[in-house]
């Protein structure tokens, strides 16, 4: 569920396990930050990694579905005269 409010800032409802919610709550209480602050920080920190993983898996699936073949590097060197 995504809500947009106030100058392009979006709100996102997230379901967490009780354990994760409790850990997040303790962290927020001990540091004086909000749970939203840490949820946003976690998403911003890991989104590049998650996107890269998705694109990597997608590229592998496309390669495997194609008729393209791979060759060992040593064979490529010989073919290229290196």
pLDDT tens track, the chain, 82 positions: 555 556 777 888 999 999 999 999 999 999 999 999 999 999 999 999 999 999 999 998 998 899 888 889 999 899 899 8
pTM of the prediction?
0.59
Q: How many domains does the chain fold into?
A: 1
What pLDDT was estimated at residue 9? 79
Please provide residue 3's backbone torsions phi and psi, each rounded to the nearest 5 degrees. -120, 135
What pLDDT was estimated at residue 5? 57
What pLDDT was estimated at residue 67? 83
Range of the domain at 14: 2-80
Contact 12, 2 (CB under 8 A): yes
């Amino acid at each position: 569920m995504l809500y947009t409010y106030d100058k392009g800032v979006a709100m996102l409802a997230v379901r967490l396990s009780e354990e994760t919610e409790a850990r997040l709550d303790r962290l927020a209480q001990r540091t004086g930050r909000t749970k939203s602050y840490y949820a946003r920080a976690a998403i911003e920190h890991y989104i590049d990694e998650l996107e890269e993983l998705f694109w990597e898996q997608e590229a592998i699936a496309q390669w495997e579905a194609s008729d393209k073949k791979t060759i060992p590097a040593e064979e490529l060197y010989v073919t290229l005269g290196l």
